[in-house]
Structure 1
Amino acid sequence: MPSIDLPAPRQLVVVDPFSSGAVLARRARELYGMESVAVRTSDALPAALTATYAPQDYRAEVPFSTAEETAARVEELCGGRPDAVICGSEPGVEVFDALAAHWDLRPNSGSSQARRDKFLMQSALRDAAIRCIPHFKAADADAIVQWCADSGLSEFVVKPVKSFATDGVFFCSTPDEVRAACERLFRRADFAGETITDVLVEERVRGPEYVVDSVSLDGTHFVVDMFSYTKETVDGNPVYRSMRAVEIDGHPGLVAYVERALTALGIDNGPAHSELIVTDEGPVLIETGARMHGGQGPRLVEISSSHSLVDLTLASRVAPEVFRRETRTRPTLERGVVECFLFSPASGVIGANRVRESCRGLDSYLYDTCDQTPGDRIERTTDLITSYGRVVLAHQDPELLNRDVEHVLDLDRRGVLIDVLPGA
């Protein structure tokens, strides 16, 4: 029987395929028959992030060295330039930008650093005449404290310039609090494993908070979904408490602002995850990540929306004709969904886990991520990474959904859901 020459499978590179980005390779195989190579930028990322990695979904894994060396290694594996490259999670943004530019695979424009460094990000908005937050960065606490004193402001946010997942974010209202926050940050490693040498200080702005997820193609932006969220403060650190899907059409001002911000930041192609606060003067950007919404975000979009964030993210990179077809209609919210973030009051070991038995009887209960068993180590919740789990609720009836959200959060605040015992 004569041999048949079959076309080689298309090749996708996923940079730091963690968190929600862990699903991209599997979905690219399902939709487009693609094979994937993982590029990992660091061995120092937190275990809570890298635990989501699915190595079986990749034909190979390449550690990042330089863009040229890494590209050459990938090309050896793929038999030439890959067909597409995509960013899987926040630590990989700059490496993704470098590889996309090297291969000329729909690269973004402007400064890649401004898509990670929050000081440069706010400066890019200012330079584009887009409303931004008063901001300053320095490599020493004295300069930051002096800026605060000279600013005439009364409340501040202090954080690493490349913070993500609320890592190292402090709310401060006195010079002593600002200095203490700086001293806790300088010279420690951030979540990406980089030593903190510069610290950012901004005005603390107040108002309803939102996240807006978008996907862009050739400079045209498409808002896929929107969530409102609440936070609580733990020892001066903001920590997510709940996140609720909202209708995009109810917030045209947010959509318009985000589109302008994406253009200013040069996010021309692929996904973006923007966090904003709506003040009395209008929306203002806290930060934008040039990657998908992390954690449970894309799954919540699948549950609640007419459009898929994961599928549009892939289409923007590997199938632009599919992206254009799917974005002819505006997304609509098909049912309400809320993600509840659970807090551990202390570090130790799990004595009992009653999350599932306490919540699964609720009318809106969909799933939870709390599989800890007695004896498992648990950390005190001080940021998004140390939240020990999520309870996801979904329902058509908003009143019933609100009732169940309050019930879950009340159980968590009263310590009903877990017992934490002292432990090394």
Structure 2
Amino acid sequence: MEPLRVLVIGASTLQLPAIETAQRMGYIVGAVDQNSQAVGASVADQFFEVSTTDSDGVVAVAAQFRPSGVLTMGTDLPMRSVAAVCEALGLPGPSRASAYAATDKGLMAEAFNRFSVPAPRAAVCSSEEELRRAIDAWPVPFILKPVDSSGSRGVKLLHDLSGLREAFDYSMASSRDGRVIAQEYLQGQEVSVEGFVIHGRVHVVAVTDKITTGPPHFVEMGHTQPSAVGVHMLEKIQRLVVLSVQALGLDHCAVHAEMMVTSDGPRMIEIGARLGGDFITSHLVSLSTGVDMVEALVEISLGLEPQLDRRFDRASAIRFLAALSPDIAEPRAIEELQRIPGVEAIHIESTHDQRQIRSSVDRLGHVIVGADTRQEAEANADRVLRLIRGVEQEGGS
């Protein structure tokens, strides 16, 4: 009997863990991407050169490939293609309506409002004039972002209205459908929740503390597991995720929720029907809990019941590099750093240009560590970053 087939929407480094995991599990893997040079194109058993956001094109590919499961990870808009394939072929997965609600911040805000989900005040606008009318009575500061983008692209904090036109143009430049959303500015500890929803039941696997660049762009520069929030707050966080999932109608998919723990409790910023990116679900969760979320997602896409029980309680952290010096460390020096206990991975981009960090694509590398406690994980990650900077200053010696 021929092995089952799994179709992965995307072939970039974000999707590579899904391609390799499904192959390791014994399945035939097809990958879809508009970039024929994507790293996963040569790894997958079959590759199809189609845009991940071309739902009709991806459905045509699926009709040819005949998968028993379809998935994507780490990115939002391809979830629309996943849902389209599930609907067309009768496969397990989210509905098209819920996938659109989870990838359009305007539709999401409307759903949150209908279900009384604690979330920031929001207004969707397609012109500067409409935006000015919508926020006329709002206090400042507030955040402006595209309704259909991710990775902090087009995100801007406004402290006053003098820079409204510039901020509107900046956000609109990253919007695919010509709309932006203004949101109330929340302050507190930002966390993300990693989990799944299966047969209507939410399974929270991990809660992650975040470090960002702060205003104006809030680019994520680090993640740590487990979260430092207390047990009672974790219970509130889980209840908020459940309510948000119900609001969007999500089912048979991963859940990546981003929220702010404020003085008034947790408030949902947005929730995706996918695994979290930034190596959170591909690396950090397995290091801190022993749960393989990528393997679980493959199983869910096939209609199987995954094993989501924690195997252990440890800690993990990732820190991203904001800048590199021209005399970046030699490969042998990085190899030495990788021998430090707990260091799981160090990656440095091939380009070392200095640049402003405005979105996640501007980051120049990362270090991932595992440890027995979150304090140790954070300390070791920060130590490696300092050593990298020190090695750079010494010209790689």
Please classify the TM superposition score into its range, dividing by the shorter chain length.
Answer: 0.7 to 0.9
CA distance in 2, matches of 1:357, 1:37: 34
Matched, 1:82 2:71: no
| 1:275-290 paired onto structure 2 within 5 Å | 275-290=258-273
Tell me by how many angstroms 1:111 deviates.
3.9
CA distance in 2, matches of 1:364, 1:8: 40
Q: Is the 8 A contact 1:358 1:417 kept in 2?
A: no
Number of aligned positions between the proteins: 384
| 1:209-358 paired onto structure 2 within 5 Å | 209-233=190-214, 236-246=216-226, 250=231, 251-297=234-280, 298-321=282-305, 323=306, 326-327=307-308, 329=309, 331=310, 334-344=313-323, 350-353=326-329, 356=334
CA distance in 2, matches of 1:20, 1:160: 22
Name the SS for the 1:287 alignment partner. strand
Tell me by how many angstroms 1:107 deviates.
3.4
Gap change, CA 1:393 and 1:148, over 3 Å in 2: same
Matched, 1:369 2:347: yes
Q: Is the 8 A contact 1:207 1:278 kept in 2?
A: yes
2:368 alignment partner, one of 370, 392, 409: 392
Tell me by how many angstroms 1:67 deviates.
4.5
Gap change, CA 1:102 and 1:229, over 3 Å in 2: same
Tell me by how many angstroms 1:116 deviates.
0.8
Which sections of structure 2, spanning at least 5 residues, go unmatched? none
Tell me by how many angstroms 1:316 deviates.
0.9
Name the SS for the 2:193 alignment partner. strand
CA distance in 2, matches of 1:154, 1:380: 25
Gap change, CA 1:102 and 1:418, over 3 Å in 2: farther
1:145 is aligned to 132
Q: State the one-letter code of the partner of 2:334.
A: R
Which sections of structure 1, spanning at least 5 residues, go unmatched? 1-6, 420-424
Gap change, CA 1:301 and 1:182, over 3 Å in 2: same
Matched, 1:39 2:23: no
Q: State the one-letter code of the partner of 2:27.
A: M
Q: Is the 8 A contact 1:342 1:390 kept in 2?
A: yes
2:78 alignment partner, one of 87, 92, 100: 92
Matched, 1:101 2:82: no
Q: Is the 8 A contact 1:273 1:290 kept in 2?
A: yes
Matched, 1:197 2:178: yes
CA root-mean-square deviation: 2.9
1:3 is aligned to none
Tell me by how many angstroms 1:29 deviates.
2.1
CA distance in 1, matches of 2:30, 2:202: 27
Identity of aligned residues (%): 18
CA distance in 2, matches of 1:417, 1:173: 39
- The superposition leaves residues 253-299 of structure 1 with CA deviations (integer Å, 9 ceiling, x where unpaired) of 11121122112112201212111111122211111221111131121
Tell me by how many angstroms 1:125 deviates.
1.1
Tell me by how many angstroms 1:306 deviates.
2.7
Tell me by how many angstroms 1:73 deviates.
3.9
Gap change, CA 1:51 and 1:145, over 3 Å in 2: farther
CA distance in 2, matches of 1:352, 1:66: 40
